[in-house]
Amino acid sequence: MKTLWIILALFFPQQEEWLHKAEQAKPVLYHTRYVPVRMVEPVQDTAAFQGWRYEESDLTPQHIYQRPLAPGQSFTFDFGRHMVGYLSFSTQTLRRCQDAPIRLRLFMGELPAEMNTPLDPWGAWLSRAWMQDEVINITEVDQVITLPRRMAGRYLKVEVLGASKDFDCALNKVSFDAVSSAAEEVVPEPDGLSPAGHAIYRVGIETLRECMQTVYEDGPKRDRRLWAGDLYLESLANRYSFRNMDLTRRCLYLFAALAADDGTIVSNIFEQPYPHPQDSSYMLTYCLLWNSTLKEYLIDTQDFETARDLWPVAKRQVEDALSYVGSNGLFDIHKRDVWIFFDWRDGLDIATPMQCATIFALEETYELAKMLGVESEVKHYPLMAKKMRKTALRTMYDTQRGVMVSGPDKQISILAQTWAVKSKVLTPKQGRKAITAALAMPDALMPGTPYGTHYLIEAMLLCDMKDEARNYLMTYWGGMIQRGADTFWEAYDPKDDYLSPYDFFPVNSACHAWSCTPVYFMQKYPDVFR
């Protein structure tokens, strides 16, 4: 722990104390043991998601446990559900005694295509090592082996790379020790969901459960860390399901404790070997969403002690955002080098969404200040929000077409409309018109992730587009289920099964926290989704 404080200059004097508070709120992990339910065979099928599906094999795990391992064999276990944790198995001598090591390639994965697409040469700009394949050499048989790497997935492929002809040995007792800090759901499922709605809700719950570890992870396969934007959405869904409010508090404190030396929140944090931020991972949109997370946490828990403790951090994030805003009320995205993220869709112009996200943060943080009785410290926020709204309407609203446009090319994206609604730049009536018009334009830029789509559903609900919100959610998240999802995916475009933010779809995360928010919507608006 000491090293951390040597390398970090502290902007807030309480940062060390905040880290202790975060560590004290670290949850215990619950363990559940799973065994494979069947063996499966891959089938290449252009009609299947990403071109592959699994069919049940004639063999069962019991058959595999009696069959000698021989070079060239390959077989796949299906655990029947997504899990996060540790893989164990043993080997059992069937004939004579071990005279050579056995070499296996063990590959754990989330989706059929991930398991069956050749991974090398590696095509993604993220590390090849995210793929959960391990080559192991078993020098001593007849004992239990547990892989040290925590893995996430449903399928386990075993390939036999080397085995001696002079003795027979079989795999045995494959099992998985699954971990999560989410215990039982505290809030019952909403009444009256349709079968399709029920399926979406259940998959949302499983997605959240798998990502709730000792922090809210983004994806337990990848990136296995705490991101501030993911935290916001996960904490909203948690509020209506597991209600593990200590986990939210822990994550809020972690970000505050690890704030950069200018007081800005980092976008993501690693827990091991000790809590530390990713260097230079400043991302303004996520800084501001941290404020909303704190506000929602306070509303939900009435934990004024934590909110008062962390208030200076919230104030600092808005101060920082305002340093980009000129006297004309315009957020200048070129003022400093900054990562502004709304979605992984290539080519998204962020000028208008960012103008609106800043207004939203001013509103949210002012609300928080009012709850804490400190609004006099930030009395300029409402005026600034008003000015920025006026500027947005004047320079970013195409009155003829009734939509928000963004950037020099006047790009029309769904997210520009969405954030204009969220920030009340557009009235609900204007918002309805803008969203409807943009969705009807074939060249309007769509979000490429459930993260971006979450904000679209939210904007629809804010504009009283109840039927549209229900239909969109049911079609979009339901589309993943129809394509075989048992947890919701990081990236999803109904028109492009191979979409990947990383240039190679197998590294996409197929259990991604920011995609779990049907849980939140269905609980918060039961009448809409019933």
Interface ranges with ligand RAM (CB under 6 A): 218-219, 223, 227, 229-230, 341, 490, 514
Supply the minimum distance, in Å, between the C-beta of residue 467 and ligand RAM. Answer: 30
Non-local (6+) Cβ contacts of 414 within 8 A are: 435, 438, 439, 444, 445, 446, 447, 452, 456
Provide φ and ψ at 515, rounded to 5°.
-100, 5
Tokens 């928080």 belong to residue: 368
Shortest distance (Å) from residue 142 CB to ligand RAM: 41
By C-alpha distance, which of 402, 408, 446, 443 is closest to 420? 402
In Å, how far from its chain's centre is CA 527?
27
Tokens of 417: 């409309």
Tell the smallest beta-carbon distance from residue 282 to ligand RAM (Å).
Answer: 12
Task: Report the residue number, 219 or 275, with the smaller CB distance to ligand RAM.
Answer: 219
Closest CA to 318 of 295, 343, 351: 295
Tokens of 521: 């919507």
Identity of the residue, 230 or 364, whose beta carbon is nearer to ligand RAM in the bound complex: 230
Min dist. Cβ of residue 223 to ligand RAM (A): 5
Residue 513 Cβ vs ligand RAM, minimum distance, rounded to whole Å: 7
Q: How far is CA 25 from CA 178, 249, 480, in A?
A: 21, 7, 34
Residues 474 and 479: their CA atoms lie apart, in Å, by 8
Minimum CB separation of residue 106 from ligand RAM in Å reads 24
Toward ligand RAM, which CB reaches closer, 206 or 468?
206
Closer to ligand RAM by CB, 227 or 521: give it: 227
Cβ of 504: how many Cβ atoms within 10 Å?
18
Q: Which is nearer to ligand RAM, 388 or 516 (CB)?
A: 516
DSSP label at 68?
P
- Closer CB to ligand RAM, residue 431 or residue 452? 452
Instruction: Decide whether 225 or 432 has the Cβ nearer to ligand RAM.
Output: 225
Q: Which is nearer to ligand RAM, 289 or 459 (CB)?
A: 289
Rounded to a whole number of angstroms, the minimum distance from the CB of residue 230 to ligand RAM is 5
What are the φ/ψ torsions at residue 419 (nearest 5 degrees)? -75, -25
The CA distances from residue 215 to 170, 211, 254, 328, 496, in Å, are: 38, 8, 9, 40, 31
Nearest distance from C-beta of residue 219 to ligand RAM, angstroms: 5
